[in-house]
A and B are shown apart, each in its own frame.
Chain A
Amino acid sequence: MSDTAFTENASSYADGGMGTAGDFFELLKPRVMSLVVFTALVGLVVAPGGINPVIGFTALLCIAVGAGASGALNMWYDADIDARMTRTRTRPVPSGRVTPQEAAVFGTVMAAGSVFVMGALVNWTAAALLAFTIFFYAVIYTMWLKRSTPQNIVIGGAAGAFPPMIAWAAVTGDVSLQSISLFLIIFMWTPPHFWALALCKSGDYEEVGVPMLPVVAGERETRRQIMLYSLLLVPVTLSPVALGFAGWLYAGATAGLGVVFLALAARLARCAPAPDGDKTAQHRAAMRLFGFSILYLFLIFSLLLVEKMAGIAPVFP
Protein backbone atom coordinates (compact mmCIF):
# COMPACT_ATOMS: atom_id res chain seq x y z
CA MET A 1 0.00 0.00 0.00
CA SER A 2 1.38 3.40 -0.88
CA ASP A 3 1.18 6.66 1.03
CA THR A 4 -1.68 7.70 -1.21
CA ALA A 5 -3.59 4.53 -0.39
CA PHE A 6 -3.10 5.21 3.31
CA THR A 7 -4.36 8.77 2.90
CA GLU A 8 -7.38 7.58 0.90
CA ASN A 9 -8.23 4.92 3.47
CA ALA A 10 -7.74 7.36 6.31
CA SER A 11 -9.87 10.05 4.71
CA SER A 12 -12.72 7.73 3.70
CA TYR A 13 -13.11 6.78 7.36
CA ALA A 14 -12.18 10.19 8.72
CA ASP A 15 -15.19 10.18 11.05
CA GLY A 16 -14.10 6.88 12.61
CA GLY A 17 -16.50 4.33 13.95
CA MET A 18 -15.52 1.60 11.47
CA GLY A 19 -13.31 -0.48 13.78
CA THR A 20 -14.56 -3.58 15.54
CA ALA A 21 -13.62 -4.45 19.13
CA GLY A 22 -11.17 -6.95 17.55
CA ASP A 23 -9.43 -4.15 15.63
CA PHE A 24 -8.89 -2.25 18.87
CA PHE A 25 -7.57 -5.41 20.51
CA GLU A 26 -5.14 -5.77 17.60
CA LEU A 27 -3.83 -2.27 18.40
CA LEU A 28 -2.56 -3.72 21.69
CA LYS A 29 -0.09 -5.97 19.79
CA PRO A 30 -1.23 -9.16 21.58
CA ARG A 31 1.76 -11.23 20.44
CA VAL A 32 4.28 -8.82 21.93
CA MET A 33 2.07 -8.67 25.01
CA SER A 34 2.42 -12.44 25.59
CA LEU A 35 6.24 -12.17 25.91
CA VAL A 36 5.85 -9.19 28.22
CA VAL A 37 3.39 -11.07 30.43
CA PHE A 38 5.66 -14.11 30.62
CA THR A 39 8.80 -12.18 31.63
CA ALA A 40 6.75 -10.15 34.11
CA LEU A 41 5.31 -13.36 35.59
CA VAL A 42 8.85 -14.60 36.20
CA GLY A 43 9.77 -11.31 37.90
CA LEU A 44 6.68 -11.63 40.07
CA VAL A 45 7.41 -15.24 41.12
CA VAL A 46 11.17 -14.86 41.62
CA ALA A 47 10.97 -11.64 43.70
CA PRO A 48 11.42 -12.23 47.42
CA GLY A 49 8.53 -12.03 49.84
CA GLY A 50 5.61 -13.22 47.74
CA ILE A 51 2.45 -11.40 46.77
CA ASN A 52 -1.27 -12.03 47.17
CA PRO A 53 -2.37 -13.90 43.99
CA VAL A 54 -5.18 -11.41 43.32
CA ILE A 55 -2.81 -8.45 43.57
CA GLY A 56 -0.21 -10.34 41.54
CA PHE A 57 -2.80 -10.94 38.82
CA THR A 58 -3.70 -7.25 38.89
CA ALA A 59 -0.04 -6.28 38.47
CA LEU A 60 0.31 -8.60 35.45
CA LEU A 61 -2.91 -7.23 33.96
CA CYS A 62 -1.68 -3.64 34.33
CA ILE A 63 1.70 -4.49 32.79
CA ALA A 64 -0.04 -6.23 29.87
CA VAL A 65 -2.44 -3.33 29.28
CA GLY A 66 0.37 -0.77 29.67
CA ALA A 67 2.47 -2.66 27.09
CA GLY A 68 -0.58 -2.82 24.82
CA ALA A 69 -1.15 0.91 25.21
CA SER A 70 2.45 1.57 24.12
CA GLY A 71 1.76 -0.63 21.09
CA ALA A 72 -1.37 1.36 20.21
CA LEU A 73 0.50 4.66 20.50
CA ASN A 74 3.28 3.21 18.35
CA MET A 75 0.76 2.15 15.69
CA TRP A 76 -0.78 5.62 15.74
CA TYR A 77 2.55 7.41 15.27
CA ASP A 78 4.04 4.94 12.80
CA ALA A 79 0.96 4.53 10.57
CA ASP A 80 2.72 6.27 7.66
CA ILE A 81 5.64 3.82 7.58
CA ASP A 82 3.49 0.82 8.57
CA ALA A 83 1.43 1.43 5.41
CA ARG A 84 4.54 0.95 3.26
CA MET A 85 5.97 -2.22 4.82
CA THR A 86 4.70 -5.69 3.85
CA ARG A 87 4.82 -6.94 7.43
CA THR A 88 2.70 -4.09 8.84
CA ARG A 89 0.42 -2.77 6.09
CA THR A 90 -2.63 -4.75 7.25
CA ARG A 91 -2.54 -3.22 10.76
CA PRO A 92 -5.78 -1.47 11.79
CA VAL A 93 -4.58 2.14 11.23
CA PRO A 94 -2.82 1.86 7.84
CA SER A 95 -5.65 -0.30 6.52
CA GLY A 96 -8.15 2.40 7.55
CA ARG A 97 -10.24 0.30 9.96
CA VAL A 98 -9.28 2.54 12.87
CA THR A 99 -8.50 6.25 12.46
CA PRO A 100 -5.20 7.64 13.80
CA GLN A 101 -7.19 9.77 16.28
CA GLU A 102 -9.04 6.73 17.59
CA ALA A 103 -5.74 4.84 18.02
CA ALA A 104 -4.14 7.81 19.82
CA VAL A 105 -7.06 8.28 22.21
CA PHE A 106 -7.38 4.54 22.82
CA GLY A 107 -3.63 4.24 23.58
CA THR A 108 -3.64 7.26 25.91
CA VAL A 109 -6.71 6.10 27.85
CA MET A 110 -5.31 2.57 28.24
CA ALA A 111 -1.91 3.94 29.33
CA ALA A 112 -3.41 6.26 31.94
CA GLY A 113 -5.82 3.55 33.11
CA SER A 114 -3.13 0.89 33.55
CA VAL A 115 -0.86 3.26 35.51
CA PHE A 116 -3.70 4.45 37.75
CA VAL A 117 -4.95 0.91 38.51
CA MET A 118 -1.38 -0.25 39.20
CA GLY A 119 -0.88 2.63 41.63
CA ALA A 120 -4.24 2.32 43.35
CA LEU A 121 -4.31 -1.47 43.69
CA VAL A 122 -0.66 -2.60 43.74
CA ASN A 123 1.87 0.13 44.61
CA TRP A 124 3.07 3.47 43.24
CA THR A 125 6.69 2.38 42.65
CA ALA A 126 5.47 -0.22 40.14
CA ALA A 127 3.05 2.37 38.70
CA ALA A 128 5.87 4.91 38.23
CA LEU A 129 8.04 2.31 36.50
CA LEU A 130 5.10 1.34 34.27
CA ALA A 131 4.46 4.99 33.36
CA PHE A 132 8.15 5.47 32.56
CA THR A 133 8.16 2.32 30.38
CA ILE A 134 5.16 3.52 28.36
CA PHE A 135 6.74 6.97 27.97
CA PHE A 136 10.04 5.39 26.96
CA TYR A 137 8.49 3.22 24.27
CA ALA A 138 5.99 5.70 22.89
CA VAL A 139 8.07 8.89 23.05
CA ILE A 140 11.78 8.09 23.36
CA TYR A 141 11.75 5.09 21.02
CA THR A 142 8.82 5.58 18.62
CA MET A 143 8.81 9.35 18.22
CA TRP A 144 12.48 10.08 18.61
CA LEU A 145 15.07 7.29 18.26
CA LYS A 146 13.42 5.00 15.73
CA ARG A 147 13.72 7.44 12.86
CA SER A 148 16.93 9.19 13.90
CA THR A 149 19.65 6.71 14.92
CA PRO A 150 20.80 3.20 13.96
CA GLN A 151 21.17 2.50 17.69
CA ASN A 152 17.36 2.89 17.97
CA ILE A 153 16.61 -0.62 19.14
CA VAL A 154 19.58 -0.76 21.55
CA ILE A 155 18.20 2.11 23.62
CA GLY A 156 14.55 1.50 22.71
CA GLY A 157 14.98 -2.14 23.72
CA ALA A 158 15.00 -0.94 27.32
CA ALA A 159 11.22 -0.54 27.12
CA GLY A 160 10.84 -4.28 26.49
CA ALA A 161 13.25 -5.04 29.32
CA PHE A 162 11.33 -3.22 32.06
CA PRO A 163 8.36 -5.63 32.62
CA PRO A 164 10.14 -8.11 34.97
CA MET A 165 11.51 -5.13 36.89
CA ILE A 166 8.00 -3.63 37.22
CA ALA A 167 6.66 -6.99 38.40
CA TRP A 168 9.51 -7.28 40.93
CA ALA A 169 8.64 -3.79 42.21
CA ALA A 170 4.99 -4.86 42.48
CA VAL A 171 6.11 -7.47 45.02
CA THR A 172 8.88 -5.66 46.92
CA GLY A 173 7.99 -2.01 46.32
CA ASP A 174 11.54 -1.21 45.23
CA VAL A 175 14.22 -1.58 42.59
CA SER A 176 17.15 -3.84 43.43
CA LEU A 177 20.31 -5.20 41.80
CA GLN A 178 18.48 -8.48 41.27
CA SER A 179 15.64 -6.88 39.34
CA ILE A 180 18.16 -4.83 37.35
CA SER A 181 19.88 -8.08 36.34
CA LEU A 182 16.57 -9.34 34.84
CA PHE A 183 16.29 -6.02 33.01
CA LEU A 184 19.85 -6.36 31.68
CA ILE A 185 19.26 -9.86 30.31
CA ILE A 186 16.45 -8.64 28.02
CA PHE A 187 18.28 -5.38 27.29
CA MET A 188 21.40 -7.21 26.02
CA TRP A 189 19.30 -9.83 24.23
CA THR A 190 17.32 -7.33 22.13
CA PRO A 191 20.07 -6.10 19.72
CA PRO A 192 21.25 -9.54 18.47
CA HIS A 193 17.63 -10.73 18.34
CA PHE A 194 16.33 -7.75 16.39
CA TRP A 195 19.34 -7.16 14.14
CA ALA A 196 19.25 -10.81 13.05
CA LEU A 197 15.73 -10.13 11.74
CA ALA A 198 16.72 -6.72 10.37
CA LEU A 199 19.46 -8.38 8.26
CA CYS A 200 16.70 -10.20 6.37
CA LYS A 201 14.22 -7.31 6.27
CA SER A 202 16.63 -4.40 5.66
CA GLY A 203 14.98 -3.69 2.28
CA ASP A 204 11.70 -2.81 4.00
CA TYR A 205 13.38 -0.45 6.47
CA GLU A 206 15.49 1.18 3.76
CA GLU A 207 12.40 1.89 1.68
CA VAL A 208 10.64 3.72 4.49
CA GLY A 209 13.77 5.54 5.71
CA VAL A 210 14.13 3.91 9.14
CA PRO A 211 17.89 3.96 9.89
CA MET A 212 18.26 0.31 10.93
CA LEU A 213 21.89 -0.73 11.47
CA PRO A 214 22.13 -2.93 8.31
CA VAL A 215 20.80 -0.02 6.23
CA VAL A 216 23.10 2.65 7.70
CA ALA A 217 26.28 0.80 8.70
CA GLY A 218 26.06 -2.19 6.38
CA GLU A 219 25.59 -5.90 6.90
CA ARG A 220 29.20 -6.60 7.87
CA GLU A 221 29.08 -4.09 10.74
CA THR A 222 25.70 -5.48 11.81
CA ARG A 223 27.05 -9.02 11.96
CA ARG A 224 30.03 -7.74 14.00
CA GLN A 225 27.78 -5.89 16.46
CA ILE A 226 25.52 -8.94 16.81
CA MET A 227 28.63 -10.90 17.84
CA LEU A 228 29.73 -8.19 20.31
CA TYR A 229 26.32 -7.97 21.99
CA SER A 230 26.12 -11.78 22.15
CA LEU A 231 29.50 -11.82 23.95
CA LEU A 232 28.08 -9.34 26.48
CA LEU A 233 24.76 -11.15 26.77
CA VAL A 234 26.07 -14.54 27.89
CA PRO A 235 27.86 -13.31 31.08
CA VAL A 236 24.85 -11.11 31.89
CA THR A 237 22.54 -14.16 31.81
CA LEU A 238 24.72 -15.66 34.57
CA SER A 239 24.34 -12.60 36.83
CA PRO A 240 21.29 -14.08 38.67
CA VAL A 241 23.66 -16.83 39.91
CA ALA A 242 26.23 -14.28 41.07
CA LEU A 243 23.50 -12.26 42.80
CA GLY A 244 22.25 -15.36 44.60
CA PHE A 245 18.74 -15.87 43.27
CA ALA A 246 19.42 -18.63 40.73
CA GLY A 247 20.94 -22.06 41.39
CA TRP A 248 23.14 -24.60 39.67
CA LEU A 249 20.42 -25.92 37.35
CA TYR A 250 20.00 -22.42 35.98
CA ALA A 251 23.75 -21.85 35.82
CA GLY A 252 24.47 -25.07 33.89
CA ALA A 253 21.58 -24.82 31.47
CA THR A 254 22.11 -21.10 30.80
CA ALA A 255 25.82 -21.60 30.17
CA GLY A 256 24.99 -24.39 27.68
CA LEU A 257 22.37 -22.26 25.93
CA GLY A 258 24.85 -19.37 25.87
CA VAL A 259 27.42 -21.52 24.05
CA VAL A 260 24.80 -22.37 21.38
CA PHE A 261 23.85 -18.68 21.10
CA LEU A 262 27.50 -17.67 20.65
CA ALA A 263 28.05 -20.42 18.08
CA LEU A 264 25.07 -19.22 16.01
CA ALA A 265 26.21 -15.58 16.30
CA ALA A 266 29.77 -16.59 15.27
CA ARG A 267 28.43 -18.52 12.29
CA LEU A 268 26.46 -15.45 11.22
CA ALA A 269 29.51 -13.20 11.74
CA ARG A 270 31.50 -15.35 9.30
CA CYS A 271 28.63 -15.60 6.84
CA ALA A 272 29.32 -12.89 4.24
CA PRO A 273 27.15 -12.74 1.12
CA ALA A 274 28.57 -14.70 -1.87
CA PRO A 275 30.64 -12.74 -4.48
CA ASP A 276 27.63 -12.82 -6.83
CA GLY A 277 25.57 -11.04 -4.12
CA ASP A 278 23.62 -14.15 -3.10
CA LYS A 279 22.54 -13.66 0.50
CA THR A 280 20.78 -17.01 1.02
CA ALA A 281 23.42 -18.34 3.42
CA GLN A 282 23.48 -15.11 5.44
CA HIS A 283 19.68 -15.01 5.64
CA ARG A 284 19.58 -18.65 6.75
CA ALA A 285 22.18 -18.02 9.49
CA ALA A 286 20.38 -14.83 10.58
CA MET A 287 16.97 -16.51 10.76
CA ARG A 288 18.49 -19.44 12.69
CA LEU A 289 19.90 -17.01 15.27
CA PHE A 290 16.63 -15.06 15.35
CA GLY A 291 14.56 -18.22 15.92
CA PHE A 292 16.94 -19.54 18.58
CA SER A 293 17.05 -16.17 20.37
CA ILE A 294 13.31 -16.39 21.08
CA LEU A 295 13.68 -19.90 22.49
CA TYR A 296 16.81 -18.80 24.40
CA LEU A 297 15.06 -15.99 26.28
CA PHE A 298 12.01 -18.15 26.93
CA LEU A 299 14.17 -20.97 28.37
CA ILE A 300 16.28 -18.66 30.55
CA PHE A 301 13.21 -17.13 32.18
CA SER A 302 11.52 -20.55 32.40
CA LEU A 303 14.56 -21.90 34.27
CA LEU A 304 14.26 -19.14 36.87
CA LEU A 305 10.57 -19.95 37.21
CA VAL A 306 11.14 -23.72 37.48
CA GLU A 307 13.87 -23.35 40.11
CA LYS A 308 11.68 -21.11 42.23
CA MET A 309 8.54 -23.28 41.86
CA ALA A 310 10.48 -26.49 42.56
CA GLY A 311 12.07 -24.90 45.62
CA ILE A 312 15.61 -25.46 44.35
CA ALA A 313 16.48 -21.79 43.93
CA PRO A 314 18.87 -20.50 46.60
CA VAL A 315 17.25 -18.97 49.65
CA PHE A 316 17.15 -15.27 48.99
CA PRO A 317 19.91 -13.31 50.73
Chain B
Amino acid sequence: MSGEEEKEDARERDRHKIEAPHWDEAMVKRRRQRNVAIAWVLVALVVLFFVVTIAKLGGNIASRPL
Protein backbone atom coordinates (compact mmCIF):
# COMPACT_ATOMS: atom_id res chain seq x y z
CA MET B 1 0.00 0.00 0.00
CA SER B 2 1.38 3.36 -0.99
CA GLY B 3 1.78 6.24 1.43
CA GLU B 4 -1.12 8.12 -0.16
CA GLU B 5 -3.41 5.08 0.17
CA GLU B 6 -2.45 4.68 3.83
CA LYS B 7 -3.31 8.32 4.52
CA GLU B 8 -6.66 7.93 2.73
CA ASP B 9 -7.32 4.75 4.73
CA ALA B 10 -6.56 6.60 7.99
CA ARG B 11 -8.89 9.44 6.99
CA GLU B 12 -11.62 6.89 6.22
CA ARG B 13 -11.17 5.30 9.67
CA ASP B 14 -11.39 8.74 11.32
CA ARG B 15 -14.63 9.44 9.52
CA HIS B 16 -16.19 6.28 10.95
CA LYS B 17 -14.73 6.65 14.44
CA ILE B 18 -17.40 6.92 17.11
CA GLU B 19 -16.94 9.86 19.41
CA ALA B 20 -16.27 8.50 22.92
CA PRO B 21 -18.22 10.22 25.69
CA HIS B 22 -16.12 12.56 27.75
CA TRP B 23 -15.34 10.90 31.06
CA ASP B 24 -13.89 13.23 33.65
CA GLU B 25 -12.21 12.05 36.83
CA ALA B 26 -15.42 12.23 38.92
CA MET B 27 -17.33 10.12 36.40
CA VAL B 28 -14.59 7.49 36.29
CA LYS B 29 -14.60 7.36 40.11
CA ARG B 30 -18.39 6.93 40.18
CA ARG B 31 -18.26 4.25 37.50
CA ARG B 32 -15.68 2.37 39.54
CA GLN B 33 -17.81 2.72 42.66
CA ARG B 34 -20.85 1.36 40.79
CA ASN B 35 -18.83 -1.53 39.37
CA VAL B 36 -17.61 -2.46 42.85
CA ALA B 37 -21.22 -2.35 44.11
CA ILE B 38 -22.35 -4.63 41.25
CA ALA B 39 -19.49 -7.02 42.02
CA TRP B 40 -20.55 -7.24 45.66
CA VAL B 41 -24.16 -7.87 44.66
CA LEU B 42 -23.04 -10.71 42.35
CA VAL B 43 -20.84 -12.23 45.08
CA ALA B 44 -23.76 -11.99 47.53
CA LEU B 45 -26.00 -13.73 44.98
CA VAL B 46 -23.51 -16.58 44.56
CA VAL B 47 -23.26 -16.99 48.35
CA LEU B 48 -27.07 -16.89 48.65
CA PHE B 49 -27.54 -19.63 46.03
CA PHE B 50 -24.87 -21.75 47.73
CA VAL B 51 -26.31 -21.33 51.23
CA VAL B 52 -29.89 -22.01 50.09
CA THR B 53 -28.73 -25.12 48.20
CA ILE B 54 -27.04 -26.41 51.35
CA ALA B 55 -30.14 -25.55 53.42
CA LYS B 56 -32.43 -27.41 51.01
CA LEU B 57 -30.04 -30.32 50.58
CA GLY B 58 -28.98 -30.58 54.23
CA GLY B 59 -32.18 -31.95 55.69
CA ASN B 60 -32.63 -34.49 52.89
CA ILE B 61 -29.09 -35.82 53.22
CA ALA B 62 -29.26 -35.96 57.01
CA SER B 63 -32.49 -37.98 56.96
CA ARG B 64 -31.56 -40.42 54.20
CA PRO B 65 -31.43 -44.13 55.08
CA LEU B 66 -27.86 -45.32 55.54
Contacts and interface: CB of A to CB of B under 8 A. Distances in A.
Contact of B23 (A17, A54, A61): A17
Contact of A121 (B23, B30, B34, B48): B48
B34 A20 contact: yes
A271 interface: no
Interface residues of A, number: 14
Interface of B: 21, 23, 27, 30-31, 33-34, 36-37, 45, 48-49, 51-52, 55-56
B34 A21 contact: yes
A206 interface: no
Contacts of A117: 45, 48
B52 A121 contact: yes
A21 B48 CA distance: 21
A30 interface: no
B52 A19 contact: no
29 contacts: A15-B21, A17-B21, A17-B23, A17-B27, A17-B30, A17-B31, A18-B27, A18-B30, A19-B30, A20-B30, A20-B34, A21-B33, A21-B34, A21-B36, A21-B37, A24-B34, A52-B55, A52-B56, A54-B51, A54-B52, A55-B52, A55-B56, A58-B48, A58-B52, A117-B45, A117-B48, A121-B48, A121-B49, A121-B52
Give the one of B23, B49, B55 with max A CB within 10 A: B55
A20 B37 CA distance: 10
Contacts of A54: 51-52, 55
B48 to A, nearest CB: 6
Contacts of B48: 58, 61, 117, 121
Contacts of B55: 52, 54-55
Contacts of B27: 17-18
A117 B36 CA distance: 22
Nearest to A65: B41
B15 to A, nearest CB: 22
A54 B21 CA distance: 44
Interface string A5-25: 000000000010111110010
Nearest to A113: B45
Contacts of B23: 17
B53 to A, nearest CB: 9
A127 to B, nearest CB: 14
Given A17-B31, A21-B37, 8 more contacts: A17-B27, A18-B27, A19-B34, A20-B30, A52-B55, A54-B52, A54-B55, A61-B48
Contacts of B34: 19-21, 24
Interface in A16-71: 17-21, 24, 52, 54-55, 58, 61
